[in-house]
């Protein structure tokens, strides 16, 4: 069991966030969850459920914070966590994190995760990407952030959308150092 921060921002791909929350809760990890305004809106429209409702269904494992709550424990490096995932990550939030800007709880928690040398995984979803987007992502990668675009693989023979989602969530958990086996792995 560990404390994991999950940030949900305004990009398509909220289905990855939903599955990640369900997977971490099922594995009994304590989740510190923050959604941006647009992140929560897209979550609702793509998943047909409120992110707050999902958190309420798992009160033991999911603690929700407002994105303007800079007094939350995860805004401080003294609060120990096992890492953070921003899923999905908008180009805005990637740019802010890459620039060292932390005016919201999501960007502050990401900055804290980086400065404390903990695992930070961002899952951007944008296509195509401009040179500005790519520069920001390269800057994050150089700073030790795992940049994991929402690009599921097809070598596992997915039959439904859920298989593609499971693949991505398994790779996100791999990057966070959390053991889960919810999708086939490549083997010869």
Ligand X SMILES: Cc1cc2nc3c(=O)[nH]c(=O)nc-3n(C[C@H](O)[C@H](O)[C@H](O)COP(=O)(O)O)c2cc1C
- Region of 35-43, 68-76, 138-146, 159-167 interacting with ligand X (CB under 6 A): 35-43
Per CB under 6 A, does 38 bind ligand X?
Answer: yes
Beta strands at 120-124 and 146-147: parallel, antiparallel or unpaired? parallel
Least Å from the CB of residue 138 to ligand X: 16
List strands edge to edge, sheet with 84-89. Answer: 62-65, 30-35, 3-8, 84-89, 120-124, 146-147
Which CB sits closer to ligand X, 84 or 180? 84
Per CB under 6 A, does 166 bind ligand X?
Answer: no
19-56 exposure pattern, b = at least 16 Cβ within 10 A, e = fewer: bbbbbbbebebbbbbbbbeebbebbbebbeeebeebbe
Contacts of residue 187, defined as CB under 8 A and 6 or more positions apart, other chains included, come to none
Among 4, 5, 6, 11, binds ligand X (CB under 6 A): 11
> Binding marks (x or -) toward ligand X, 89..108, rule CB under 6 A?
-xxxx---------------
C-alpha to C-alpha distance for 182 and 163, rounded to whole angstroms: 9
Structure tokens at 147: 């940049």
Per CB under 6 A, does 2 bind ligand X?
Answer: no
C-alpha to C-alpha distance for 102 and 186, rounded to whole angstroms: 38
**DSSP string covering 103-115, please?**
-SHHHHHHHHHHH
Which CB sits closer to ligand X, 123 or 175? 123
Among 19, 32, 108, 125, binds ligand X (CB under 6 A): 125
Per CB under 6 A, does 9 bind ligand X?
Answer: yes
Per CB under 6 A, does 126 bind ligand X?
Answer: yes
Which CB sits closer to ligand X, 9 or 23? 9
Give the interface size with ligand X as a residue count (CB under 6 A). Answer: 14
Binding site for ligand X (CB under 6 A): 9-12, 36, 38-39, 42, 90-93, 125-126
């Amino acid at each position: 069991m560990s404390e994991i921060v999950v940030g949900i921002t305004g990009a398509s791909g909220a289905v990855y966030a939903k599955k990640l929350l369900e997977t971490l809760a099922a594995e009994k990890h304590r989740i510190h969850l923050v959604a941006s305004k647009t992140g929560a809106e897209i979550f609702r429209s793509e998943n047909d459920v409120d992110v707050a409702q999902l958190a309420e269904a798992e009160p033991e494992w999911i603690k929700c914070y407002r994105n303007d709550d800079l007094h939350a424990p995860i805004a401080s490096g003294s609060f120990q966590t096992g890492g953070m995932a921003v899923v999905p990550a908008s180009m805005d939030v990637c740019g802010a994190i890459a620039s060292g800007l932390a005016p919201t709880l999501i960007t502050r928690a990401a900055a804290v995760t980086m400065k404390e040398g903990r695992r930070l995984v961002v899952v951007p979803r944008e296509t195509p990407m401009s040179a500005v987007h790519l520069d920001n992502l390269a800057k994050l990668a150089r700073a030790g952030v795992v940049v994991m675009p929402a690009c599921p693989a097809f070598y596992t023979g997915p039959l439904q959308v859920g298989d593609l989602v499971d693949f991505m969530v398994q790779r996100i958990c791999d990057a966070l150092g959390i053991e889960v086996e919810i999708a086939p792995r490549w083997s010869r």
